[in-house]
Chain A
Amino acid sequence: MELWFSEFHTPDVQHSIRVTRHLYSKRSEYQQIDILETPEFGRVLTLDGNVMLTERDEFIYDEMITHVPMAVHTGIRDVLVIGAGDGGVVRELTRYDRVERIDLVEMDPMVVEACRTYLPSNACRMDDRRVHIHFENALKFIRRCEAEYDLIIVDSTDPFGPSEGLFTREFYGNCHNALREDGIMVNQQGSPFYAEDAKAMQRSHKNIVKTFPISRVYQAHIPTYAAGYWLFGFASKKYHPIDDLDAQAWSKLNLHTRYYTPRLHIGAFYLPAFLEEMLEEVEE
């Protein structure tokens, strides 16, 4: 018997992964949660049928969304993580001794529960004493914060589902307000390749540009996401992602990474021409 999981990247493109076992399938209040065992990508977490992470390539995403801001702002102590119920971002953050507090705001307790059971390599640091999990709507949580955090990591699902509110101007505005005066916000910014995704990416970039004085986009290559090509947003009140990179300080930490390096850090901000154009279009 052949069992395949397919995800539509557009109505005319689908990406399929052979499945050996369907480990978990439950519907939470917000979404359909599935975990699959696959020969090529290991365990795969999907929400509403969209791949969120695979054991094989999650390191790329989790390293790029965490180490880029951590290497720029060496004073980061208080971190707010939004979404990321799988625990991958938390795992990367707990590798830094200087981080004192990690508030994780995830709306869906069932995602955390499922990942604790079936994706222990991601969820392994969720019980770190510095981690405080809040099962709450992120917009509501952040409305009440003022100048509390050095870093906010927005690890949301795509902008067409329950996370839609995390791509809005009101959300970014409240993030700005929740950050200290030298704070940084990093978000997953989607993919620029297929038309529908590109439009959403432009919309959220436009909202961020209007909110933060410094706003740059960087890229990574993630095989299981649409077009294998993914973007992150780096928004900040003070630090420039390249000019303020402290590569030496970061290297001294001796963190072993498999994707991120300080050299790649700089390269990731150099974008292809079509993407530069798309961004400029909404930056005016």
Chain B
Amino acid sequence: MQNRRMQLDQRRAPIYEALENFRRMRVVPFDVPGHKHGRGNPELTAFLGQQCVGVDVNSMKPLDNLCHPVSVIQEAEELAADAFGAAHAFLMVGGTTSSVQSMVLTACKRGDEIILPRNVHRSVINALVLCGAVPVYVNPEVNQRLGISLGMRREEVAKAIAEHPKAVAVLVNNPTYYGVCSDLRAIVQMAHSAGMLCLADEAHGTHFYFGGGLPVSAMAAGADMAAVSMHKSGGSLTQSSLLLVGPNVHAGYVRQIINLTQTTSGSYLLLSSLDISRRNLALRGRAMFHQVADMAEYARQEINAVGGYYAFGREIMNGNSVFDFDSTKLSVHTRDIGLAGIEVYDILRDEYDIQIEFGDIGNILAYLSMGDRPQELERLVSALAEIRRRYQRDSAGLLSQEYIAPEVVISPQDAFYAEKVSLPLEECVGHVCSEFVMCYPPGIPILAPGERITKEILEHIQYAKEKGCSMTGPEDPEIHRINVLT
């Protein structure tokens, strides 16, 4: 059933239709790409399929141009804006990283302050390195039992706004990787009354626009911009994404910002996947996500029945730092069976051929989507039951994940470009870091450029390494050394 608020004919998919038409025209290509509908690269064609390489084509009049859309891409963007309830939507081909960065770069200039929770994705702080804005971190509350960062409390946001009245924007995770939502409507109001923009990282919230019983979406809450990972819960191809903007943001300026860093050869595989996925979501999203939420709920019950594990759900809502919870997320707390989440993550893959999204110190996250079936869920639950039986041990000695409030000494940009020296990990205490350190996934920095390195932080890094988290960020791939400011 089509959502009532949509005005346009969501059965249309203009980019897809133009590509189908283009295929039927049998146009002779004397333009790039050089593989010429795959003929010049038979091995690639055999691997990806003729259908696929045949539409890997260049911008041209009948197919429009992503840098300056005037026909089918423009129509597709209008349909997307309509489907998501936005004033304007931009089709993005550089991952949601590009959406997040365009959002931040639109809102901030060099020296501007931006209010944000510390558990943001690396792409947000990367954007600060690019533009030179200064982060004002709001301490996300931590759930002590689970050891996960939650949302921002309203009082904390109000305090940050009061202390930094010149900040230009407030950025909110909607939701976090674990599905935790802040009180977005209230934060939008606070930001707007202080003359600030409200930006939402909705990398994990595409489905909010199409679900009953799901948390409020950024556009519905009145936020000014939102970065939406269509390739996660939306079902489009990896690296495709959407940037949504509300009525208070000038779309032409956003387009200029996007064009600063965006490729001029936008992939039509990605663009058509966005078009077709948007159509699918608009027409069938509500029913699909209802099913996903039901599957997640079933899995939670079954996993909790196994014992030892805690698959958490909406009961962790507290009206503030967990204002809402995304019930399609399947996160499981593993510490009570004596295993770190990352250990369960590794065992699932190595011994049971089950790949989940990530494991951190205390939890695992299995990503459920419209592509899942009950029989695979049964495998996951049974494997968890087996892991408990085979590996359960005393949980004493397992660290919980504490929130370590960062001390921002200088802006991420100044720190990134400053004179620096590489020091062994254990000698870094007290120095200011010039690079990122994070576990990936989830990609939330433990250290960001410009922050003071403390003993606590180093212990956390050491522990995560020991447990087998894949760490990224520093120049030194082994993370024995960190670059610090001289």
Contact = CB atoms under 8 A, between A and B. Distances in A.
Interface stretch (B62-70, B75-83, B376-384): B376-384
Given A140-B302, A177-B389, A171 B375 contact: no
B476 interface: no
Contact of A143 (B353, B374, B382): B382
Contacts of B376: 165
Interface of A: 137, 139-140, 142-143, 162, 164-165, 168-171, 173-174, 177, 210
Contact of B382 (A162, A164, A174, A210): A174
Give the interface size bracket for B toward A: 10 to 19
Given A171-B379, A174-B385, A210-B351, 8 more contacts: A139-B375, A140-B302, A140-B381, A170-B352, A170-B383, A171-B382, A173-B382, A173-B390
Contacts of A162: 375
Nearest to B380: A170
A282 to B, nearest CB: 14
Interface string B332-371: 0000000000000000000111000000000000000000
A139 B353 contact: no
A218 B66 CA distance: 62
10 contacts: A139-B375, A139-B379, A140-B381, A142-B382, A143-B382, A164-B375, A165-B382, A168-B383, A169-B353, A210-B351
Contacts of B375: 137, 139, 162, 164-165
A55 to B, nearest CB: 30
B306 interface: yes
Contacts of B351: 169, 210
A174 B382 CA distance: 7
Contacts of A142: 382
Nearest to B353: A168
Given A137-B374, A140-B302, A168 B352 contact: yes
A170 B379 contact: yes
Contacts of B378: 137, 139-140, 165
A165 B378 CA distance: 8
Contacts of B382: 139-140, 142-143, 165, 168, 170-171, 173-174
Interface of B: 302, 306, 351-353, 374-376, 378-379, 381-383, 385-386, 389-390
Contacts of B306: 143
Contact of A174 (B302, B353, B374, B386): B386
Nearest to A163: B375
Contacts of A140: 302, 378, 381-382
Best-buried of A140, A168, A169, A170 by chain B (most CB within 10 Å): A170
A169 B302 contact: no
A140 B377 CA distance: 10
A170 B383 CA distance: 5
B385 A143 contact: yes
A177 B390 CA distance: 11
Best-buried of B385, B386, B390 by chain A (most CB within 10 Å): B386
A143 B381 contact: yes
A171 B379 CA distance: 8
A67 to B, nearest CB: 29
A142 B375 CA distance: 14
Contacts of B389: 173, 177
A137 B382 CA distance: 11
B183 to A, nearest CB: 38
A253 B371 CA distance: 52
Contacts of A177: 389
A142 B385 CA distance: 11
A64 B376 CA distance: 30
A171 B302 CA distance: 15
Nearest to B382: A170
